[in-house]
Amino acid sequence: MHGHAYANGAGTIVNAIAIWKGAAFCIDLKTTADVKLCECAGGGSRITGGIETTDACGECGAGDDATYDTALIERCVSLVLDRFGCTCDGAVTTHSEIPIARGLKSSSAAANAVILATLNAMGETLPPIEAVRIGVRAALDVGVSITGAFDDACASMLGGVVITDNRNNELVSHIKYDSDVLIYLPDEVAFTADTNVARSKVVAPLVEVAYQLALAHDLENAMTLNGLLYCAALGFDPEVAMCALELGIAGVSLSGTGSAYTALVRRDQIKELREAWCALGGNVIQTRIVNKSRVEQK
């Protein structure tokens, strides 16, 4: 049995680490997954994984257990098999254009893509939110996420902008929002598992303000407040965000726990911000918010 699927990355409006409530938007960068299932050779299911990347900056790589951790994608396959009481051996491979460990939700996209591909291989379906919750459980099981990243996974799966309660895995609001997106990508990586959670908790009362702005659909101010708070808490340079604000960009933030920054931009603002960010070094990626869900895109 062979299944194939993809899922999108996402950008941050409100990072959920401080208050377990977050908001995120879907972006047009993808991770694809291929899953092959076969009759179990004996005992329990044996799942092997592989990760390949050609990110949006054109940086290429191919990984195995020694270079990329495949525990998340293997766990996703196992949980889907368990959900349907199926015992199979399997192989899963992902290929991503989402830069890894930059806060652009590469793990959530990988989990969603693998879950959908496994369902495709089995000829089964699940409601999108149930599929998301399987990925959240897998992320917590293998330790790649602090809250389970329900907000990021919902944005990846459902498209548009999502506002969530991550503690209860509850989708609070889901709206469409049209915008181009610029991503500033510095050279360094930042793994979520290494984040200083205690420092994030210090700014929790102000992150709550950002969350309330998001609930009121004041997304750009929510995003900017979030970004400045987490830059201060986690030690990232606020100059990237300030550079955008000086050009009249209303919504700019550190994405996730870094190291990338995202900005919501009008078409006439793209050239000027791209030039300003390029002058800071690193890479700049242009994309957009994707409003269609994975179900609608089939």
- Give the DSSP H or E segment for 287: strand 283-288
Q: Region 164-192: what's the mean pLDDT?
A: 93
Residue-wise pLDDT for 259-291, tens only, equals 999 999 999 999 999 999 999 998 999 999 999
Rounded average pLDDT over 48-70: 64
Q: Residue 22: which residues within 8 A CB-CB, separation 6 or more?
A: 12, 13, 14, 15, 16, 147, 150, 151, 152, 163, 164, 166, 211
- Residue % of the chain over a pLDDT of 70: 92
3-state secondary structure of 171: strand
Which tokens in the block code for residue 176?
A: 């469409």
pLDDT tens-digit readout, 96-112: 999 988 999 999 999 99
Where is 163: in which H helix or E strand? Answer: strand 161-165
In the 3-class helix/strand/coil scheme, how is 11-79 assigned residue by residue? EEEECCCCCCEEEEEEEEEEEEEEEEEEECCCCCCCEEEEEEEECCCCCEEEECCCCCCCHHHHHHHHH
Instruction: Give SS3 for 234.
Output: helix
When computed from its CA atoms, the radius of gyration of the chain, rounded to whole angstroms, is 18
Find tokens 């987490």 and name the residue: 230
- Rounded to two decimals, the pTM is 0.92
- Lowest average pLDDT, out of 59-68, 93-102, 123-132, 147-156, goes to 59-68
What is the predicted pLDDT for the residue at 118? 97
pLDDT classification of 57: cutoffs 50, 70, 90: low
- Rounded average pLDDT over 119-139: 97
Domains by residue range for the chain, with CATH: 2-175 (3.30.230.10), 180-288 (3.30.70.890)
What pLDDT score was predicted for residue 65? 37
297 has a pLDDT exceeding 90: no
